[in-house]
Amino acid sequence: MDNTLVAIIIGALVIFIGYTFYARRIDKAVIQSDPNRATPARLYMDGVDFVPTSRNVLYGYHFKSIAAAGPIVGAITAASIWGWVPSLIWLALGVMFIGWASDYSAIVVSVRNDGNSLSAIAHQLIAPRTRRILLLFIFFYLLLVAGAFGNLVANVLNQPIVPLGIIALALFGLLGGYLLYRKRMDLILVTVIIVGGTLLAVLLNADQNGWVATRFKDFNGWLNDFDKNGVVTVINPLAPANAQEVPLSVSFVFWLLFMFAFCYLGAILPIWRYTQPVNYIGFWLTALTIVLGGLGAFLAFFFKHDLATFKIDGFTSFNGTAAAQARGAIQPLWPMLFVTIACGAISGWHALIGSVSTARQIENEEDMLPVGGGAMFSEFALGLLSLLAVATVPLSGAPAQNRFAQGIGNFLNVFGISTTYGTAIGFAAFVVIVITVVQLLFRVMRVTLAEGLGERWPVFRNMHVGTLISMLAAFVLVMSGTWIYIWQLFGSANQLMASLSLLVVTVWLFSTRRNPLYAGLPCVFMYVTTMAATVVIGYNLWQTIVDEFWGVAGRGVAVGGALVTIAIAVLLFVAALFIAVDGIRAIQRFRERPPEVAPRPAPAPGGASGD
Amino acid sequence: MPAAESRRARSVSARPGPWPRVQARLRRVLHALAEMFYGATGFEFERQAMRVRADLENFFIFMIVGELIGVPVLPPYYALRLLPYLVGDIAAWKRRVLRPREAVEREEFELHGV
């Protein structure tokens, strides 16, 4: 039972049953998608934002856009705390009953409301302040993602077998933008140069004892000689009890700053010059990993059975591993599992932002389900692959991302690719997926800052100022925060946004006299769960860091970081309360309103009745 | 032979066997896969190119008929000669420039799946 083939069969059944018997039914019975109804893309076709697009093209675009780091990191972290069985169950049930509904409904609401975004519809249906609160939510959500991902990227880059591929990614990204847009070179030729070059750099750096890796090892050693005790000490509650105080080395800080430099280019250069080609290279590396890794996970059962067998516990305990409970922390499966695995099961960000562009390109109402729901089911498959990769590698004290890379290396080994190179590709794919997201996070953060504060303080409109402030905030969070709690708080913010987007959908369903249960019930479940999780995270931060280390010399940074994170948790909690109160009022408003009567047709000329 | 019978006979003889149907279905699947692949790779470049062109066009039309959206621009008199070429685009242009936008609308590339 505990092997990749069984998990893949379960995943395939979830997708088939969820899509065919539930999603399609909702699409037909509740939403009543009508191929003859004109969509905003057809009504307002302007060749830019509103463009009717084939459902297959749109599916590819939407899936590529949502298939990022969230489903990978969440699944591998949760499997390490509670085991692979609860993680698999939540991934499956989450996507089947909530995830697809959230993504699909956001597109539906947008399509049925002239292509307006979800926050504009919230402004209109719920309350004007909802939009402002969502903007605040988005900024802190992005800050938490930047803090969580920044830590991961710096940790992985600090390993000597990784950096060359990422340096090459930046350089080939710049080259790609130049060749494509300035030299107008053919896309296929540019693809061969930039993707091939980056892949070559990844493989050159793969061997632990090779020339390149040795140079990076020496370089890191040279940096660490400056301060052998590390720059600051943070707390890692998931480490063994005697190793939870982790000094952040000088080389870690160097690679963190390298990541910021990488992202600075992404945040300030025109999108075509750097971000777009970097993401394009990233897509190829990711696609290679997903396709070969997925096939390898399936075939491993038949050809390399040992690689297909799960090596970690199916279920540790309701409260997670003993390490997760050290220093009095609590990690109860409910609600914490539901925020640790966010994107693979359900993601609020997809709904809030994804609907803006995708909904305006829907050509036919019948495409809403395959594009919105179908892409979310595919993202579940990515979360499942990550879970398989990490579950087939034994717990060894190594971080989850290392075990993920090793698991991918094992799956690629089924095709005869050496584990050394396979693991390097796994590492590269992981960093590429994360770093391509982080560079855009800072871009969006500076835009959000300019939008929120630029009117009062014009200095925030300066893109360098906005970017540097965002990076400074993320730097403080990485250097002082506790990774697992930042990640879980990010998950809470993400799932809260999901429940808020489902709230908008529920209000819309009420306002149009449709059955709101398919969105309303998940909305209530996610809301209660994530509010409870936010409280637990605040408690854990207080219990394990503030209470434990208050006044202890040398731990002031960790205590300060914990207090900042608690403040963000409180802010998100209060913001979510405001939105919920406004949402309930809006529902009452629509329930009390008498049903709209269809207008009587005008009498025909000559006095005949129009009935 | 009555017309209906002859039509039936023709349709029976012209009905394709299973292989052409499989071929046709395979072609459709391959076409769909090719489209999905394009959606995941080249489509974003196409959208970017369209946006850049639209930005230039927005500005160009704005310089000529900016008064239509309440901005007092004084176009040179010879811009009148361009009007016939712009008339078809003016409605879409007005919708595009007057539509309320989200703060992060132009920056959402690839960020859907954080």
pLDDT digits (tens, 9 = 90+) for A495-533: 988 998 999 999 999 889 899 999 999 999 999 999 999
Does the structure show a pLDDT above 90 at B16? Answer: no
Under 8 Å between Cβ of A235 and A482: yes
Under 8 Å between Cβ of A393 and A407: yes
Q: State the complex-level ipTM.
A: 0.88
In terms of phi and psi (left: phi > 0; alpha: psi -120 to 50; beta: otherwise), the region of A210 is: beta
pTM: 0.89
Contact A444 B39 (CB under 8 A): no
Neighbouring C-beta atoms of residue A314, cutoff 10 Å: 16
> What's the pLDDT at A608?
42
Q: Which of B35, B102, B109 minimises the CB distance to A117?
A: B102
> What's the pLDDT at B12?
55
> What's the pLDDT at B10?
58
Residues of A within 8 A of B109 (CB-CB) are: 65, 271, 275-276, 279, 440
pLDDT band at A450 (very low <50, low <70, confident <90, very high): confident
> What's the pLDDT at A604?
54
Phi, psi of A248 (to 5 degrees): -85, 115
Nearest chain B residue (CA) to A191: B41
User: How large is the average pLDDT for residues A138-160?
Assistant: 91
Angle of CA points A457, A461, A463, to nearest 5°: 140
Q: Which residue in this structure is represented by tokens 């009095």?
A: A328
Q: Rounded distance, CA A293 to CA A508, Å? A: 41
Half-sphere exposure of A371 (CA within 13 A, CB side): 33
Contact A353 B108 (CB under 8 A): yes
User: How large is the average pLDDT for residues A337-359?
Assistant: 85
> What's the pLDDT at A607?
44
Strands (E), A309-398: none
Q: Rounded distance, CA A366 to CA A349, Å? A: 23
pLDDT band at A603 (very low <50, low <70, confident <90, very high): low
Q: Which of B43, B52, B96 minimises the CB distance to A61?
A: B43
pLDDT band at A555 (very low <50, low <70, confident <90, very high): confident
CB neighbour burial string for A282-303, b if at least 16 within 10 angstroms, e if fewer: bbbbbbbbbebbbebbbbbbee
- Which uninterrupted H or E stretch holds A232? strand A232-235
Pure H helices in A67-210: 69-82, 84-94, 100-112, 118-125, 128-157, 163-177, 187-204
Does the structure show a pLDDT above 60 at A388? Answer: yes
> What's the pLDDT at A314?
92
Does the structure show a pLDDT above 60 at A252? Answer: yes
Tell how strand A245-248 and strand A232-235 pair up: antiparallel
More confident residue, A65 or A258: A258
Q: Of A21-35, A219-233, A541-555, which range is least confident? A: A541-555
pLDDT band at A444 (very low <50, low <70, confident <90, very high): confident
Q: Rounded distance, CA A294 to CA A414, Å? A: 11
> What's the pLDDT at A596?
56
DSSP per position, chain B: --HHHHHHHHHHHHS--HHHHHHHHHHHHHHHHHHHHHHHTHHHHHHHHHHHHHHHHHHHHHHHHGGGGT------GGGGGGHHHHHHHHHHHHHHHHS---TTGGG-TT-TT-
**Tens digits of residue pLDDT in B50-109:** 888 888 888 889 888 888 888 888 877 888 888 898 888 888 888 888 887 777 676 655
Q: Rounded distance, CA A170 to CA A174, Å? A: 6
More confident residue, A378 or A46: A378
**Tens digits of residue pLDDT in A259-280:** 999 999 998 988 888 988 998 9
Mutate: best of A135, A271, A274, partner B, most B CBs <10 A: A271
For residue A482, give the 3-state DSSP assignment: coil
